[in-house]
Amino acid sequence: MPFIREGLLDALVVGGPIGKTTMQRALMAEATGVPLWIEHSIFTGVSQVFQAHQTAAFPGIEFAISITHVTQDDLMAEPFEMKNGRYEVPTKPGLGVHFDDEAVDKYRRA
């Protein structure tokens, strides 16, 4: 990729699927020395927390942004908010957060 070879960018901005695709892009970023900026769309608070865990786990990901806070209901029992421009990755078991069971029931489809 000439734009990487020529040093024409400070970070690669990527969006789209999370999980395996993000892992592959993070490994590419680590190999090239060009960090990733992960853009997260409007999903649920669970995917937002998962993205924060991925960002913390992969050295190639330096930035992450999410707009989940604008959703009517993020399905979370406690808000997952930025503090001083950063997310604090939960350390409780699992993803470290809890669903709002009433919200999940409200939106459940039979």
Task: Give 31-74 pLDDT, tens digit per residue.
Answer: 888 988 888 766 777 878 888 888 888 888 888 877 766 677 77
d(CA 61, CA 105): 34
Distances (CA, A) of 20 to 9, 27, 66, 108: 24, 11, 19, 27
Q: What is the pLDDT of residue 93?
A: 92
Q: Structure pTM?
A: 0.73
Range 2-107 has CATH code 3.20.20.120: yes
Would you say residue 96 has pLDDT above 70?
yes
Q: How confident is the model at residue 14 (pLDDT cuts 50, 70, 90)?
A: confident
Q: Would you list the domain boundaries of the chain?
A: 2-107
- Calculate the average pLDDT of the chain: 82
If you average pLDDT over residues 5-10, what whole number do you get? 86
